[in-house]
Structure 1
């Protein structure tokens, strides 16, 4: 039997709850605000959405090892992970990653402060979700460094276009 992390997330209440809020990774929301395509012509498969109309997509053909691209509802996109396990580690470690376009420690500290002020038990919930999935979490600095490396390295080859206008989305990570 093949292990599916997506199925494990769905079946693990602590993980599903944390990824839904504060991770803003809703497995029941897979429709993007507009039709999009990759400039390369590779297929896109929506896997989750967020509350603001953004969507997470698997890129290409394969399983959960495929690159994951995030597109917001305002015309921004970035490759955020190489595979679902890397994405889940990012969302568990730095659920406020969208508030860190430069992937800096300063941006993250500011965002984390706001999140933790609103939800003081957040880190304990994160640790419980990671333990339930059997995932070892990277440090916040390592997760942000990896996000930046993926988005600005291999991510350059994943250009998202509005399917009708053929205009490229802007880079979310700089």
Structure 2
């Protein structure tokens, strides 16, 4: 896989790719502005690289010469590492666009709950956007990356959020952000019965 600079350059140079990533996968490189004065407890630098429709921001952590995990900070005051690098983050975002919802229905970080929610979320995703598989294939081909199964991606996401460590605690002008794991179990969603 290419490193984060090459991937970002590819997205920024290919308007069709950038538009599809924004519209179908909520990874919009035109929305780089996040919170004012964002920082990590560890002091590692943050670079805003994209945003989503809800006001959340994706950040690369660290410097160009170091491994650069990807942190997602929501507009609701939750943040955490979602992947060990940009290629892994894009694999998650493209391979399972409903990844945020799997975190929301994680029952506080339970992988089994996330896997259960994923089955329902996949059904919802295909009903809401029938062209999703073709769009995923096109983006994956454009970025030269494989499409992995949602359950593999959700397990990797769970590990990234769970094992990030306190140094990746995100802080901005509003204070310290909470964890990305949501409190709800899949049974809370009445449509999933």
* TM bucket, shorter chain: 0.7 to 0.9
Q: TM-score, normalised by structure 2?
A: 0.80
**Runs of 5+ consecutive residues of structure 1 not aligned to the other structure:** none
Q: Which moved more, 1:8-17 or 1:106-115?
A: 8-17
Q: Is the 8 A contact 1:14 1:129 kept in 2?
A: no
What does residue range 14-163 of structure 1 map to in structure 2 within 5 Å? 15-62=17-64, 65-101=67-103, 102=106, 104-162=114-172
For the 8 Å contact 2:28–2:51, the answer to whether it is kept is yes
Cα RMSD (Å): 2.1
SS of corresponding position for 2:49: strand
Deviation at 1:131, TM superposition (A): 1.3
Q: Is the 8 A contact 1:30 1:48 kept in 2?
A: yes
Distance in 1 of aligned mates of 2:139 and 2:16: 5
> 1:135, CA displacement in angstroms?
0.7
**Matched positions, count:** 171
Does the C-alpha gap of structure 1 residues 155 and 126 become closer, same or farther in structure 2, counting only changes over 3 Å? Answer: farther
Match of residue 171 from structure 1: 179
Q: Distance in 2 between matches of 1:64 and 1:108?
A: 32
Q: Which structure shows the bigger proportion of residues in helix conformation? A: 2
What secondary structure does 1:21 align onto?
helix
User: How far does residue 61 in structure 1 lie from its aligned partner after superposition?
Assistant: 0.8
How far 1:14 moved relative to its partner? 5.4
**TM-score scaled by length of structure 1:** 0.88
After superposition, the C-alpha distances for 1:78-101 in whole angstroms (9 at most, x for unaligned) are 101111110110111111101011
Q: Distance in 1 between matches of 2:83 and 2:159?
A: 9
Q: CA deviation at 1:22?
A: 2.3
Report the secondary structure of 1:75's partner residue.
Answer: coil
CA separation of 1:131 and 1:155: change in aligned 2, threshold 3 A: farther
Gaps of 5+ in 2: 183-193
Q: Residues 155 and 128 of structure 1: is their aligned pair in 2 closer, same or farther, counting only changes over 3 Å?
A: farther
Q: Distance in 1 between matches of 2:127 and 2:66?
A: 34
